[in-house]
Each structure stands twice: as C-alpha cells, then as structure tokens.
Chains A and B, each alone.
Chain A
Amino acid sequence: MQETATLNNSFKSEEYFINMGPQHPATHGVLRLLLTIDGEIIKKVEPDLGYIHRSIEKMCERDSYQQIVHLTDRMDYLSSHINNEAVCLTVENALELEIPDRVKVIRTIIGELTRIASHCLWWGVMGMDVGALTTYFYGFRDREMINDIFEETCGARLTMNYNVPGGLMWDIHPNFIKRVKEFIVHFKTKIPEYDKLLTGNVIFQKRTKGVGVLSKEDAISFGVSGPVARGSGYSCDVRKYHPYSALDKVTFNEVLETDGDTFARYNVRIKELWESLSIIEQLIDNIPEGEHRVKTNAVIKLPKGEFYQKVETARGELGVYIISTGTKNPYRMKFRSPGFSNLSALNHMAVGGKIGDLVATMATLDLVIPDIDR
C-alpha cells in the first residue's frame, strides 16, 4: 500500500504558470494572457490589459467633435469606417441634422466593405492560428482590393476618416461604383475557394468543432455581441434591430448558428461575407444623387443632454455615449467596445481545453487589442 501511494505521488502533476504575451504570435497585438496550465490542459486564463491604453476617452473630452472622429480610427482599426460612422451618427442625432440619402447609402456600402475586409483578415489569421499559413495570403489578396477602393475614395487605406459630422469628407470617386462591382464579381468566386482551403478541411474541423463552447445563456450573461454571440444562437445584430444609415432599406439575413463552438463562430463570419455582399449589391446601383455633406457650424456645440448610438462593427456592438453640457467638447465620452466583452468570455470558453484550443478559440473571438484597451 505504501509503495503504491508513493508511486501515485511521484506521477502527480503540478500546475504551472505561463505568460502568453504581450509579445506572442497568437494574441494579435499586445494582449497578455496569464495562463495556469497542467501539462497541456488549461486551468485558468486571465487576460491582462492595458499595454496599448492611450486614454482615448479622456482625450475626447479635450477635443472638438470633428477631432473625436479621427481618434476613433485608432480603436478598432479594422473597421475604422464604422467607428467613425458611430460617432458621426451620435453627433448628427444630437444636432437633429437631416442627412442626405446619398450619404447614408455610401456610408452603408463602405461600412459593409469594411466588414468584408475585416473578415478577410480575420479568416487569414484564423488559418494561421490553427497552423495553415497559406490562408493569410489569400485573405490579404481580397482585402487588398477593398483597401485600393478605399484609397481611391478617401486617400487612406486603413484609418479612413471619411466621415465627418454632417456627411462625408469628399464625394465618391467616379470609379467607385465600377470598382466595387468588379470586386463583387471577383469575391464571389473567392469565398468558395476559402471553403475549399479551410472550411472543408478535416483537420480544421477536428480542431474547431466542439472547441471553446459558449452557450446562449452564457453569451448573454457575458454581454458578448457580434459574430461571437450569433455563433451561440443569440440574435443580436444591431443592423437588424436598430437599423442606421441605409440599412433599413435593404433586406439581409442575420446569420445564426446554434452550436456555440469555434466552428459555429467561424461559419457565422464566412456566411456574413455573403450577406455583406448582398447588401452592397442592393445599394450599389441605387446611390441617390445629392449633396455629400450638409453644412454644419465650424464649431459644433451639442445641446445639453446625453446621447447614445450603437452600430454593428465587424466585431460586434459598438456603443458611443456622449454626455454634453452644451459646450464644444463632450463632458464625458464612453465607448462600449465589442472586443472587451467578447474577451471576458475567453476564460469560460478555454478552461479545460488544450493550448491549441485556446489559440483556436481566441482566433474566432477576432480580437483587436486597441479596441479593447482604447
């Protein structure tokens, strides 16, 4: 008896601690995860934030409303247009400005293009995280076309600053419609290629199915949004429930998957590519004529009060909350960023899995660290 006891004891495993990040290929930025692991099995994940905190919310209190739009580019840099749009919508609603239809339609088209570009990048990185390096370049090839369109439209490829309170900075380029149509034709042949390369792969499905499960109840209680929540079957698309810009004029399906695992979240994003394409297709031929901008005062002063607007970025629900005291600066500004709440569910999803599972799960959260830290 004594002998078996010592034998068992000598094989006892010990939990140890490992630092994943802030410089680690899988954390896509400066996120630090404090992992407690037992061999390969994860016991606890503690995200440690703040490595790229730039106090954007505090800086907003100092800036005028036109300047604030520029800061929001640097939050979720992969859907910068949608961030800009959120702030502009809040300011416009507060001022009760009548925005021309042309602006609304263009904003929606570019917003959906941004979403596609963001999902393309995510898809490439997702493949890379599970070990298929080739996907990265396929994703970037298609994203490049969108970036070229953006560059022609407003001169910037990533941090666009195309929106201003009251409309758009410039009108669209004459080539815009032609190039977007070219892109739609091109991209429709490329999504099946994505499926061939990664979705249908047996190893990939083994790596993702049943991994990082988040039930619908947990999704709601963690406050996750966007494709992560929709992968768990929680219908929460802001574009459906609170349509903004021209989204009330188009028909599209909200993609829902019920499994709640990594593969479901993956599928939601792939299907969203099709939905975004369909939204663009419905709008691209019907861009109304008109002004691209309504005149606002050079110094925008919001009326006294509190204003809130939410939009759907590629990562989920972005909320902009402004408290104004009637001056040219906001008294307090708060962003509700999707990445922060999505990250909070990581510990719940990853515990019990292997290190490889954690990486796959984190990839489908589609984290952008500056969005979390702000």
Chain B
Amino acid sequence: MQISLNITETIQECLVSMMSESAAGYIAMVIIALIYLGIFSVAGLFLVLLERRVAAWFQLRIGPNRVGFQGLLQTMADALKLVSKELTGTDRADKFLYNLAPYFVIISALMALGLIPFTKEFQAFDINIGIFFLIAVSSIGVIGILLGGWASNNKFALIGAMRSGVQTISYELSVGLSLLTMILLTGSLQLSEIVELQKSGWLIVQGHIPAIIAFMIYMIAGTAETNRAPFDMVEAESELGAGFHTEYSGMKFAYFFLAEFINMFLIAAIATTVFFGAWLSPFGITESIPWLGVLWFLVKTLLLVFLMMWFRWTFPRLRVDQLLTLEWKYLLPINLVNIVVMAFIVWQNLIILI
C-alpha cells in the first residue's frame, strides 16, 4: 500500500482497510467536511476576536481581554449567546428565502476553503481549474445577500442588498482580471502547480511591476468583495442602520457575520497563494520541515488580513457612485493595460527568477 501524505488520501487509505472502496470514499468526504467545518468556525471566531483587538489597538482602547486568557474565549461566549438567542424575524418576510439566505453566504464561504493549499499535504482537493473554481464559488455569496435583503421586506435591507449586488458584480471583474494577469505568468489554474512554480521566486517577484499592480488591484477589489470598509456600502451603519442583515437576529445574523470574516480570510489566502508563494518559506529556509508550511501560510495570510483591518479602521467610506467610478473608470482600465504588459513580459521572457 502506497502511503500518500495528502490529507484526503491519508484518510481514505485508512478507511479502505476497514470497508469497501466506495463507502470509504463517501465517509472520507464527510470526515473532511467536518474537519474543515470545525476548523473554520473556530478560525472565523478567532478572526472576529483579532479584528476587535486590532480595532481597539487603532482606537486607543484595550479591547476584549476578560473571557479566557487575553480574551481568547470572548467570541466563543458571544457565539454561545447568539446560538441561545430567540430567532426573531419580520412578519411579512418571504419566510423560505429569508431562512435560506444565510446558508448561501456561509456555505459559499466554506466551500472555497477546501481548495486553499495550507501546505503541500493539507489541501482537501486540488482540481485543475482551481482559481476559476475559487472565484466562481466565492461569488455565490452575493446571492445570499441579495436574497436576505429582498426577503426581509425592509427598505433599508433592500437598499443594502441592491448596493451589494452592484458592488460585487463590478468588483468581481477586477478580482478576476488581476488573477488572470497572474495566470498568464503561471500558465496553470491548478493551485498546487502555481505553488510549485514559485519555488524559483514568489510570483510577485517573478512578475515584478505588473504583478505588484495586480496585487494592489486585487487587494482593493478583494476588500470591496468582502463588503468591508472603505467599501461597506452594504451595511453602512450610519446610512442604513445595518443594511441587508437589519432583520436578522441570533444565529442567522452570526452566519452573515462569520461569513464576512471567512471571506476576508479567503481573499487573503488567495493572495498568499497567488502572489506570495503560499506555504513556501522565504528563500526556502525551512524546506526540510514540510509541516512548517502551515505556519508560513498562516503568517502571510494573517499579515494580509491585518492589512485589510488596517483599511477598515482608518479609511472613511466611499459613496456608492464613487465606488462604481473607482471600479469602472480606474481599476478596470488599469487592469486591462496591466494584462497586456504582463503578456508582453511573459512573451519576451522578462521574468525575474531567483
């Protein structure tokens, strides 16, 4: 029996020794799904705590530090409270869609996580259309937001949802195009191959100028896609109260809330994979210890997450028309030119290899 180090295959191998092949396949899927669900609900809660501590740090406050060591259990306690809360909703809401909406958001956020290469071994599935799949899945979330806003039967929620639709459709283009710029360089959509390619220098170095531009556009558009400040038109609390989730309470609200943070993590994780060499250590200093890759991946991702939090706690919010102007008049044209520049660089082989 050939022992693979891949997490999916390892679990499947173990199960095959106990039962038939097809049953093992299904059970392995369920086990992996549960592992991911467990890890990322905890990770989401941790990110909420991180945001609160970072916000406090920016705002001359201390932040939550009472529940558990340095407040580590604060968000757990909050989640527990939200679970135990009564679910209230509006009388005239479209009940079916109203209840369905949070699941759209949270499932699309969790689905994309399976693709992220934490290390070479820790990747649930590695398909040859990796990046394409990531973009496709992560944009399903907006349907949930639109449904939630529409079904709530609340004008504030509706305005928020419509803004969200406009915003996500626009910025999806920039996310897609900036990743496409990098794909010109890699020549592959498969994430493991993209990482493998970066052993001779991270892509942001390999692609130098156009790669840096692509990264900046990706971070701006990515922040907009997660509906976070300065692009939080969707919930803009000084304008719309709470935006699309005005009418949600308890755990349904928590799904929206968690999804925002998992999406933020996703955007940062994709950036880490495509621009900063995923789990590869800088200059290969810890290449001999493969499991340290997880650490490197998390360090890079959390730095980018911190960058997004930095945006949120320093910038004012854009107005909805300025948001669209930024995308259609600036980011998109720059992006298109950038793709041509990247194509030229790949054609002339001006790539910097270490």
Residues of A at the B interface (CB closer than 8 Å) are: 16, 18, 24-26, 40, 127-134, 136-138, 141, 197-198, 201, 203-204, 206-207, 354-357, 359
Give the docked Cα–Cα distance between A24 and B155 (Å).
Answer: 14
Asked whether, in the complex, the Cβ of A137 is within 8 Å of the Cβ of B230, the reply is no
Is B320 in contact with A18, judged by CB distance below 8 angstroms? Answer: no
A-side interface mostly? helix
Given contacts A136-B59, A206-B322, A355-B159, 10 further A-B contacts (CB under 8 A): A16-B155, A18-B156, A131-B315, A132-B314, A132-B317, A133-B55, A133-B229, A134-B313, A354-B319, A356-B239
Q: How many A-B residue pairs have CB under 8 A?
A: 78
Known: A18-B156, A134-B59, A141-B60. A207 touches B238 (CB 8 A): no
Q: A130 and B317: CB pair below 8 A?
A: yes
A137 to B63, CA, bound (A): 13
Known: A16-B155, A138-B60, A141-B60. A130 touches B316 (CB 8 A): yes
- Docked complex: B54-79 residues within 8 A CB-CB of A: 55, 58-61
- Residues B236 and A137 in contact, CB atoms below 8 Å apart: no
Cross-interface CB contact of B59 among A130, A137, A198, cutoff 8 Å: A137
Interface of B is mostly: helix
**Given A131-B229, A131-B232, A203-B230, are A24 and B241 also a contact pair (CB < 8 Å)?**
yes
Q: Report the minimal beta-carbon distance from A198 to chain B, rounded to whole angstroms.
A: 7
Q: CA A18 – CA B232 in complex, angstroms?
A: 21
Residues of B234-270 at the interface with A, using a CB-CB cut-off of 8 Å, are 236-241
Interface size on B, residues (CB 8 A): 27
Pick from B58, B313, B314, B317 the residue with the most CB of A within 10 Å.
Answer: B317
Given A18-B156, A134-B58, A137-B61, is A356 in contact with B316 using a C-beta cutoff of 8 Å? Answer: no
Among A131, A136, A141, chain B packs the most CB atoms within 10 A around the CB of A131
Nearest neighbor of A127 in chain B, beta-carbon distance:
B316
B197 CB-CB contact with A under 8 Å: no
Q: Complex Cα distance A223/B229, Å?
A: 37
CA distance A355 to B155 in the complex (A): 13
Interchain Cβ contacts under 8 Å between A and B, 16 examples: A18-B155, A26-B238, A40-B159, A40-B320, A130-B317, A131-B315, A131-B316, A132-B315, A133-B55, A133-B59, A133-B229, A134-B314, A138-B60, A206-B319, A207-B317, A356-B320
Point out residues on B near A: beta carbons under 8 Å.
Answer: 55, 58-61, 155-156, 159, 229-230, 232, 236-241, 313-322
Q: Please determine whether B59 and A355 come into contact, CB atoms closer than 8 angstroms.
A: no
Beta-carbon contact of A355 and B316 below 8 Å: no
A132 CB contacts on chain B under 8 angstroms: 314-317
- Please, which residues of chain B bring their CB within 8 A of the CB of A24? 241
| A354 & B321 in contact (Cβ 8 Å cutoff) | yes
A207 and B314 contacting across the interface, CB-CB below 8 Å: no
Interface-central residue, B230, B239, B322, by most chain A CB under 10 Å: B239
Q: Determine whether the beta carbon of A197 is less than 8 Å from that of B319.
A: no
Flag if A203 contacts B241 (CB, 8 Å): no
Q: Which residues of B contact A133 (CB under 8 A)?
A: 55, 59, 229, 313
* Cβ–Cβ < 8 Å partners of A203 in chain B: 230, 315-318, 322
> How far apart sit A295 and B231, CA to CA, in the bound complex (Å)?
61
Contact partner, A131, options B55, B59, B155, B317, Cβ 8 Å: B317
Question: Chain A residues with Cβ under 8 A from B59's Cβ?
Answer: 133-134, 136-138
Partner of A207, one of B232, B237, B241, B316: B316
A249 → chain B closest CB, angstroms = 37
Residue pair B58, A207 in contact (C-beta under 8 Å): no
Given A16-B155, A26-B239, A359-B239, A354 and B320 contact (CB-CB distance below 8 Å): yes
Is the Cβ of A207 less than 8 Å from the Cβ of B318? yes
